[in-house]
Amino acid sequence: MYRSHTCGELRESHINNTVTLSGWVQKSRDKGFMIWIDLRDRYGITQLIFDEERTASDLMEKAKMLGREFVIQVTGTVIERTSKNPKISTGNIEILVSDLEILNESLTPPFTIEDETDGGDDIRMKYRYLDIRRNPVRENLIFRHKVTMAVRNYLSEKEFVEVETPYLIKSTPEGARDFVVPSRMNEGQFYALPQSPQTFKQLLMVGGMDKYFQIVKCFRDEDLRADRQPEFTQIDCEMAFVEQEDILNTFEGLTRHIIKEIKGVEIGEFPRMTYDEAMQRYGNDKPDIRFGMEFGELNEVAKHKEFGVFNNAELVVGIAVPGGNSYSRKEIDKLIDWIKRPQVGALGMVYVRCNEDGSYKSSVDKFYDQDDLAKWAEVTGAKAGDLICVLSGDTLKVRTQLSALRMELAERLGLRKTDEFAPLWVVDFPLLEWDEDTERYHAMHHPFTSPKPEQIELLKTKPGEVKANAYDIVLNGNEIGGGSIRIHDKETQAMMFDYLGFTPEEAKAQFGFLMDAFQYGAPPHGGIAFGLDRLVSILGGQETIRDFIAFPKNNSGRDVMIDAPAPIDDTQLKELCLKLDLKA
């Protein structure tokens, strides 16, 4: 028996008991005549004591040899501690050791295994197994486990069945590139790793499973943006015989349950906003509604004066920054520099100071009088003491820029509180999205999404205006999930593929199995998938999803611990009938 108790378990009530503990040496203090060791395992830390008077001399010698992270087993008596440590749960006791076994030695770890470590990101990634010994990382993994358990319990209770779908499949498009796996037994042929189990969950509905979920890995070969992982986890769900309303209610229930279980916070009904409204009010399809600073469109009150910049713009739009009139000229200049950075890309910014005495002072006083500026204040909801920031230009671009400014300022003003949860549904997404590069429409969600039935006709004349039965669930400015009602008949699906530029042959080759299935009594169905990594990191109040993944990849998609990806040897290449010609 390696242990009778864990290192987080012993209390004063155990005094005089003989116990056996196993764990890692966190640190050792050697006073010569007395040695204290902090013994650590997943559950906590227990202090061990060896002293000249009570400990045999050979045991004393052995204890002196212990280095950091040695794995040891000790047996001893629980005694009351003379100087108690109220910071840890075992702080009232210590173990007077009578027997010590070194189970394994350790090299000195490359960074300290403490809450505040001296190790930088890179080194901790390389030795992730040591990082996992640290409380913050371990706690994050346990936190993630709690979230997934809450999900599994809730959905299972509601008669959802968790079904595994295959990883070696044919492409399921979700807008990224596929990772492919060469097939040794089928020369020149490849599997694709799923970008999502989309087609399979739809086939499960055809199979009559009715309510499906799966906590599942998805793989997307995207150019890595900050805080994206090439493999990530979804809570993937699908239901048959449902309308959009049923899905929204079911998964609002799930989200509410998770937030209650994990954070103890009760959330009322989630607000709903159309995509168009979200874009207009927040410049963003995943608005953070924990704070105001809503957009005020100023075309009517700011155009048709002498100011050419505004007159030539498609959209003039502003936000009121609470208390922003206190910014110095220099600070405002810095803000303008910030918004002109290539990442944001605005050409400039007009601003209006709302003075405490009710007057205004703007950067465009030459063109606008106090009455004009009062109207701007009214539209943006600015009060005395605020600063109005105004951008102008092409609608989509200018909204994106102002949204970036809104988020940045809210961050600086401390309005993005991590202990506040403001979920909402964004509904009625456009079905299609124009792609400048390929000069054609792409499915905004994926090609299986159903257009609003009453708008199908519009596909012929104004495809860009057609809305879909598609929805996103947004939490604190992050899209945590998205889904849609699906097309469930062959004709509509074929028509959709056609709009998306697939020839009938291509559609058949890639998705023939789905269209075949639709001919055998496919029920109306729809679903949603949540990004588990992101959800967990928001609930955990932390920024990066990496902190909640046991073995994450770095920003260039590498696993620096196992050193992957890596070349494969010639024999393997030959077996797979792959030739690498790097010069070509």
Cα–Cα distance, 233 to 470 (Å, whole number): 21
Q: CB-wise, 322 or 483, nearer to ligand ASP?
A: 483
Q: CB-wise, 451 or 482, nearer to ligand ASP?
A: 482
Q: Which stretch binds ligand ASP (CB under 6 A): 265-273, 369-377, 482-490, 562-570?
A: 482-490
Q: How far is CA 17 from the centre of its chain?
A: 47
Q: CB-wise, 113 or 514, nearer to ligand ASP?
A: 514
Q: CB-wise, 346 or 485, nearer to ligand ASP?
A: 485
Binding of ligand ASP at residue 196 (CB under 6 A)? yes
CB of 157 to ligand ASP, least distance (A): 21
Query: In the 8-state DSSP scheme, what is residue 225?
Result: P
- Count, residues in the chain: 584
Binding of ligand ASP at residue 214 (CB under 6 A)? no
In this structure, are residues 37 and 18 in contact, taking their beta carbons and an 8 Å threshold? no
Cα–Cα distance, 342 to 360 (Å, whole number): 31
Binding of ligand ASP at residue 469 (CB under 6 A)? no
Site string for ligand ASP, 492-531 (x = CB under 6 A): -----------------------------------xxx--
Binding of ligand ASP at residue 484 (CB under 6 A)? yes
Q: CB-wise, 198 or 255, nearer to ligand ASP?
A: 198
Residue with tokens 């349950």: 257
CB of 196 to ligand ASP, least distance (A): 3
CB of 242 to ligand ASP, least distance (A): 12
Name the nearest CA neighbour of 401 among 283, 280, 281: 283
CB of 174 to ligand ASP, least distance (A): 5
Cα–Cα distance, 280 to 156 (Å, whole number): 39
CB of 450 to ligand ASP, least distance (A): 11
CB of 523 to ligand ASP, least distance (A): 16
The CA–CA distances, whole Å, from 306 to 124, 303, 347, 414, 495 equal 59, 8, 19, 38, 50
Binding of ligand ASP at residue 482 (CB under 6 A)? yes
In this structure, are residues 560 and 128 in contact, taking their beta carbons and an 8 Å threshold? no
Site string for ligand ASP, 16-35 (x = CB under 6 A): --------------------
Structure-token pair, residue 382:
């600015």
Binding of ligand ASP at residue 44 (CB under 6 A)? no
Q: Which stretch binds ligand ASP (CB under 6 A): 42-50, 296-304, 404-412, 477-485?
A: 477-485
CB of 501 to ligand ASP, least distance (A): 20
Helix, strand, coil % over all residues of the chain, rounded to 5: 30, 25, 45
In terms of phi and psi (left: phi > 0; alpha: psi -120 to 50; beta: otherwise), the region of 299 is alpha
Q: CB-wise, 174 or 288, nearer to ligand ASP?
A: 174
3-state secondary structure (DSSP) of residue 318 = strand
CB of 83 to ligand ASP, least distance (A): 56
The CA–CA distances, whole Å, from 182 to 103, 387, 559, 568 equal 43, 58, 21, 13
Binding of ligand ASP at residue 318 (CB under 6 A)? no
Question: Would the CA dihedral through 492, 497, 498, 503 be positive or negative?
Answer: negative
- Dihedral pair phi/psi, residue 309, rounded to 5°: -55, -45
Q: CB-wise, 109 or 483, nearer to ligand ASP?
A: 483
Structure-token pair, residue 81:
């501690």
Omega before residue 197 within 30° of 0, cis: no
Q: Are strands 350-354 and 44-51 parallel, antiparallel or unpaired?
A: unpaired
Site string for ligand ASP, 423-462 (x = CB under 6 A): ----------------------------------------
Q: CB-wise, 175 or 512, nearer to ligand ASP?
A: 175
Binding of ligand ASP at residue 483 (CB under 6 A)? yes
Q: CB-wise, 275 or 295, nearer to ligand ASP?
A: 275
Binding of ligand ASP at residue 174 (CB under 6 A)? yes
Cα–Cα distance, 509 to 513 (Å, whole number): 9
How many CB atoms are closer than 10 A to CB 502?
A: 17
Residue with tokens 């409204």: 277
Residues 54-93 that bind ligand ASP (CB under 6 A): none
Structure-token pair, residue 171:
């492409």
Rg, Å, the chain Cα set: 30
Site string for ligand ASP, 131-160 (x = CB under 6 A): ------------------------------
Q: CB-wise, 22 or 484, nearer to ligand ASP?
A: 484
Site string for ligand ASP, 529-548 (x = CB under 6 A): x-------------------
Q: CB-wise, 131 or 174, nearer to ligand ASP?
A: 174
CB of 530 to ligand ASP, least distance (A): 9
Q: CB-wise, 349 or 514, nearer to ligand ASP?
A: 514
Q: CB-wise, 514 or 529, nearer to ligand ASP?
A: 529
Query: Which H, E and C letters describe 440-471, residue by residue?
Result: EEEECCCCCECECHHHCCHHHHCHHHCEECEE
Name the E strands within 368-524. 387-393, 423-427, 432-435, 440-443, 470-475, 478-485
Q: Which stretch binds ligand ASP (CB under 6 A): 120-128, 377-385, 408-416, 476-484?
A: 476-484
Residues that bind ligand ASP (CB under 6 A): 174, 196, 198, 482-484, 527-529
